Amino acid sequence: MQTIGELDPKDRIKKENHNVIERKRRWVINDRIKELGELLPKTNDPHYDVVRDNRQNKGNILKSSVDYIKVLKNDIQKLKQIERDNKQLQAENRKLLLRIQELERQAKENGLPVKDSTWKVVNPETLFNSILKNDWDTQHSHIKSEKNYTHCELMEQDIMEKDIMC
Same domain, 99 and 55: yes
| C-alpha closest to that of 39 among 6, 2, 69, 13 | 69
Cα-flanking dihedrals φ and ψ of residue 40, to 5°? -65, 155
Around Cβ 90, how many Cβ atoms within 10 Å? Answer: 14
Same domain, 25 and 76: yes
* CATH classification at residue 48: 4.10.280.10
Same domain, 92 and 137: no
Query: What's this model's pTM, rounded to 2 decimal places?
Result: 0.55
Around Cβ 94, how many Cβ atoms within 10 Å? Answer: 12
Per-10-residue mean pLDDT of the chain, 166 residues long, equals 69 92 97 93 86 81 93 95 96 95 91 71 66 61 49 53 48
Same domain, 42 and 94: yes
Buried b or exposed e, range 13-25, using 16+ CB within 10 angstroms: eeeeeeeeeeeee
